[in-house]
Amino acid sequence: MTNKGNSEIIFLSDPAESLIHPFFNKQIVFTGALSTMTRSEAAKKVKACGGLLQGVVTQQTDFVILGDKRRGISTKQHKAEQLINQGQDIQLLIEDDFLWLISMQKKL
């Protein structure tokens, strides 16, 4: 029996997994107008990252993007906060954080 030395190699993570965008295969909802782009432009950027768009917040929602041009708490944000309080894993992102995340797509 020959040992080719591979038994000592430990792979801690799959390098391909590190290339997956945080929005990849995630359900995303927008609420409030964005100050830097139209909703249509934002939707294209989400899709380019592999994200999926939803019109309403549900238990399957992963991210709710809060546009800078909003007045108070929208019904979508309120629904997301209710679901979060019930244990759902939904991330509320302000517009600046959304812009930072979609900028990652160019770097990957």
Neighbours of 107 (CB within 10 A): 6
74 in any annotated domain:
yes
For position 54, what pLDDT does the model report?
A: 96
11 in any annotated domain:
no
For position 92, what pLDDT does the model report?
A: 97
Residue 6 vs residues 9, 46, 50: alpha-carbon distances, Å: 5, 40, 35
7 in any annotated domain:
no
What's 77's domain CATH number? 3.40.50.10190
**pLDDT, averaged in runs of 10, over the chain (108 residues):** 52 56 95 93 94 96 92 92 97 96 71
8 in any annotated domain:
no
16 in any annotated domain:
no
d(CA 21, CA 33): 24
For position 1, what pLDDT does the model report?
A: 46
Domain count, the chain: 1
d(CA 89, CA 87): 6
What domain range is 73 assigned to? 22-107
| The two three-digit tokens of residue 19, written as one number | 């290339």
Neighbours of 16 (CB within 10 A): 7
34 in any annotated domain:
yes
- pTM for the predicted model, two decimal places: 0.79
- Residues in contact with 88: Cβ distance below 8 Å, sequence separation at least 6, in sequence order: 59, 61
